[in-house]
């Protein structure tokens, strides 16, 4: 699938910003070109956060996954056999269940952005969070690609 023109335009703008910050003596061909994609949830989230920051808005990615603590270790017995002992455990997040993927503050207005790619759908906790945000006067948007985000954020 070809990259969307809106993403190519943003990459060019990001490259121009990078070049502006460098001294004139810095070799331009040594600057790494920024690349973005909206085909995965992680890629689209990163793209949206960077776009918002480039516009001068506050934007932060919210992790509601919790943390994984890996207590495994590999041991070798007296015969030289190696095995893994211990366990992996997950600690739930301290954040609000169902919170949106990205929290944006645009011109004093709170915007909560939920990223959904492909057949991904909102959970009941996410729908409850959306109702709470909208009842409080915030804006809650669900985006499926970068063009969708641009049309809703305007």
CATH number at residue 127: 3.40.1350.10
Please give the DSSP secondary-structure letter assigned to residue 55.
T
How many structural domains compose the chain?
A: 1
pLDDT in tens, the chain (154 residues): 789 999 999 999 999 999 999 998 999 889 999 999 999 999 999 999 999 999 999 999 998 778 889 999 999 999 999 999 999 998 888 788 899 999 999 999 999 999 999 999 999 999 999 999 999 999 999 999 999 999 999 8
pLDDT at 134: 97
CB 90 within 8 A of CB 67: yes
pTM comes to 0.84
47 lies in which domain range? 5-153
């Amino acid at each position: 699938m070809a990259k969307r023109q809106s993403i190519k335009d943003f990459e060019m703008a990001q490259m121009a910003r990078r070049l502006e910050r460098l001294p004139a003596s810095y070799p331009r061909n040594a600057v790494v070109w920024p690349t973005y994609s909206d085909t995965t949830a992680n890629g689209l989230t990163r793209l949206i956060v960077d776009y918002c920051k480039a516009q001068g808005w506050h934007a932060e990615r919210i992790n509601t996954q919790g943390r994984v603590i890996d207590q495994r270790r590999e041991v070798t017995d007296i015969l030289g056999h190696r095995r893994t002992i211990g366990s992996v455990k997950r600690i739930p997040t301290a954040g609000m269940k169902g919170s949106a993927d990205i929290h944006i503050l645009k011109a004093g207005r709170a915007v909560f952005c939920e990223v959904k790619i492909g057949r991904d759908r909102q959970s009941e906790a996410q729908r409850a969070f959306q109702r709470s945000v909208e009842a409080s006067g915030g804006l809650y948007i669900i985006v499926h690609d970068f063009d969708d985000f641009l049309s809703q954020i305007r």
